[in-house]
Amino acid sequence: MGSGKFITLEGGEGLGKSTNLHFIKDFLENNGLSVRVTREPGGTPLAEQIRCLLLEERSESVAEQTELLLMFSARAQHLKEVIYPALAQGQWVISDRFTDATYAYQGGGRAIDVSLIQQLETWVQGTFRPDLTLLLDAPINIGMSRMKERVISDRFEQEQFPFFERVRQAYLLQAQKNPDRIQVVNANQSLTAVQSDIVSHLLSLLKK
């Protein structure tokens, strides 16, 4: 898969993913790397259309199975059209969310059987996994208080506290299961401290 690396940034709502995504990009580029930034769901024209289907408010209730299958449909397109080609060209790819988010939001938040997610993960990705996942973590009330400042919220952001707590716990469980890949970053500290922690993990990856 070339010499590129695949980094994913995960975490609940309102924990600074967007800010730190740009920070990671700048850091890697300053180290002489070619970087591609993308996101999930989305990343390609078709996957972005699926993103709209997933996030927009609607009067019709969305079945949990529909949500899960749409997530992996967008991911399959994203991998084929963006992630795999970029890595093959030696680029470092940074994605705002990936499959760990599915375990968190659909597995934890929606209480979908994790074995179903595992089957889809294997079918769509084979053995492909990120080289490094940075999980921004903080108590739910921290993220929710920051979310209140947003004028527009999507279908997921309108969920309530219990949903986000289940998401957080599912993320932390993923980190426990994958300690070599997933690094938990305390997002309940200053931005400088958060980014210092991120840099330490990036430097470790650069040395591999």
Ranges of each domain in the chain? 6-206
Would you say the C-alpha torsion 46, 48, 49, 51 has a positive or negative sign? positive
Residue 149 has pLDDT above 70, yes or no: no
Q: What is the mean pLDDT of residues 37-45?
A: 97
Question: What integer pLDDT is reported at residue 12 of this predicted model?
Answer: 86
What's the rounded Cα separation, in Å, for the pair 47 and 44?
5
Nearest-5° Cα angle at 27, 25 to 33 = 75
6-206 domain in CATH 3.30.365.10? no
Question: What integer pLDDT is reported at residue 72 of this predicted model?
Answer: 98
Integer distance in angstroms from the first to the last C-alpha of the chain? 15
Place of tokens 């309102």: 14
Q: What is the mean pLDDT of residues 94-114?
A: 97
pTM for the whole structure? 0.92
**Residues 118, 30 contacting (CB under 8 angstroms):** no
Tokens, residue 15: 């924990």
Residue 82 has pLDDT above 80, yes or no: yes
What's the rounded Cα separation, in Å, for the pair 48 and 65?
19
Mean pLDDT of the chain: 92
Residue 146 has pLDDT above 80, yes or no: no
Question: What integer pLDDT is reported at residue 150 of this predicted model?
Answer: 59
Question: What integer pLDDT is reported at residue 147 of this predicted model?
Answer: 65
Identify the three-state secondary structure at position 76.
helix
**Residues 173, 145 contacting (CB under 8 angstroms):** no
Q: What is the mean pLDDT of residues 187-199?
A: 96
Strand order of the β-sheet with 132-137 is 35-39, 92-96, 6-11, 132-137, 182-186
